[in-house]
Structure 1
Amino acid sequence: MVHMPKTMKRKLSNMFANFFWGVEDQKKKRHWRAWNKLCVPCDEGGVGVRDLDEVQQVMFLKFGWQLLTQDSLWAKFFCAKCVKNSHVSLMQEGRFGSQFWMNAFQGIPLLLQKSQWKVRQENVSLRYDKFTEDGPLCSRVNLITEPLIRVQDLFSTRSACDIIRVKFPKMDNVDWIWNNLLPGKISIYMWKAYFNCLSVDENVRKLGIPIVSCCNCCETHHCEYLNHVLGSGDFASALWRKVYAKMGFPFVAIQGWKERSAAWFRLASRQSQVGILTGLLLSIVVWRL
């Protein structure tokens, strides 16, 4: 595990973002949503990729956890170098010889704060380690002796990432949008529509680009914006009317596409084949629009 410079992480993140949004004629397409908002789980509005900063922090947390729980050569070297074979909670800053050890140290207080020991295996300090909800005993009582108890070693990169990352609000109907039965390109297109990340004329105008907006799917040549293209336009309304008729659902003409999507997903169900088809059909129709 090597400390990755910020410049390298930024360049790699730009490469990932360019790959996601696409390149046309060797020119990068517009990034309609910030990369940090994509690097969150799908149920929080992202696309499920990991941010490189968070990945590196998790790797250092994993290394710190191994130092705390394993009786390895690295753990012995670390204790001898930084804490003089004392408990890691007594470690002081300024006793590190490299960026690697500094990063490893910075994660240990977080591990001690967020972890709780269970009585099972290995040796642990009764005075300094946290095995109750109220924290270590040294924060409440002054123990003279240093008893040992047995603990269980449990760590996962998923739980560590959930600790350090920024949480976003939950996204509705994510199980239908990112359903395994749908091709990835349809799920991504539905995600872009959900967050208004499609290059309709209205969004292009918001960038300060003066263009004459005209919807080619309408006889009145209405201004092209997301709700018009996917919901209220002449072509979209006619298509939705046919889909509702085929499925036997009542059609509401005056309804935005997001409201229509929410109402449609409420009709979906995993209890029957028709219910599953209903949940998948919305994303397919939006993709074809």
Structure 2
Amino acid sequence: MRGSGMKVNFHKSKLAVISLQEDVTTRFASLLHCRVMAVPFVYLGLSIGGSPHRLSTWEPILVKLLTALPLYFISFFRIPKGVTAKCNQIMTRFLWGGSEEGKKIPRVSWANICRPKLEGGLGVRDLDLFNVALLGKWSWRMLHDHDQMWCKVLMSKYGKGHNSRASSWWKDLLKSCVGEPAGLWFENGLCWRLGEGNCTQFWGQGEFSGEKISQLDSMLRIVSSFTPVKGMSDCERGMGVGWKVLLNRIQTRDNLLRRQVPIPDPRCPLCSVDDESVGHLFSSCSCVSQVWSLVLNWLGLSFAAPASVKDHFVQFSHLWPSNKKAGLFTVWLAVIWQVWMGRNEKIFKDGSFDPVSVFEMARLKAWEWLRYKTSSFLHGTAEWVNEPLACLDDI
């Protein structure tokens, strides 16, 4: 090495190759001035290049079981059942004071010994589960380091699924982490947390954070169909508020308390009667109920508002002919947005919540959003105020 002044000692160096013809191997060894080494070989007491499914490959591990040296080995290969049984036997003898010459009766089963201390065990690692967990770190790293060169090489060589020509390491990894049936633990343990949305295929997920949203599919698709346009920042924020309301992720006081945010008064800031929740704020609050009554009177319909926002949405959406649903969903979203804005105005700016003003602003906001959303909606505000359902026929 030029920087340190060190040089390679070719007399102590050996060349090990895999899947190369003998004459090619000889030429490489001659070029490097070193000898050819047979595979498998032993390095730092570990067998390199041997089949991980053979007991002979694991014999050095059994000798060094109580050291940290085998950790890399068991984090890379799936331990055969016979090797796991042999390791457990060695540890059992050590625990109960036995030896090769004489055995002692174990007082507690090995499964109970491996249980956590809080459950009456000793907290000794279950070697089989520990091996699977270490292999699972490779799958985890592939999810996070998918842009790294080593991950790209593996994906280009083996692909994402099962490959009959893959190495034993890759097959064991799939079997342990992402395959049927034992490997489902890894897939089932994953969940998506929505960030910027660049990597989340939202409609491909049957669940989101454990909460069923299939019944909200039509509403969320309509919300997502809005095309961002210059000057529509409030519309985009309105879509975000509607989405969080339907998933109960909006910052109502009960949700803030659930996240251990100190709230001096959990009651609704509008009516000051019941505790503020998504269902109360956007549906059953006496102040907001007046807004919905004005909306329904304007549309020429009426229904008893349920306490749940999801039920409110489902009931609201089934009152209309199918050709008007998209426009009326926009009305529903505009009311949700304006209620949230009015609530924040009262809390943070000491304003007042007037149901009539909130209704009129929501009606105007729905008209603005429909004008931006679809080119066929060309009606003026007077037509929209007087004949809303007729205006929606053109959407």
Normalising by the smaller structure, the TM-score range is 0.3 to 0.5
Higher relative CO (Cα under 8 Å, sequence separation at least 6) belongs to 1
Bigger-Rg structure (1/2): 2
Normalising by structure 1, we get a TM-score of: 0.43
Normalising by structure 2, we get a TM-score of: 0.33
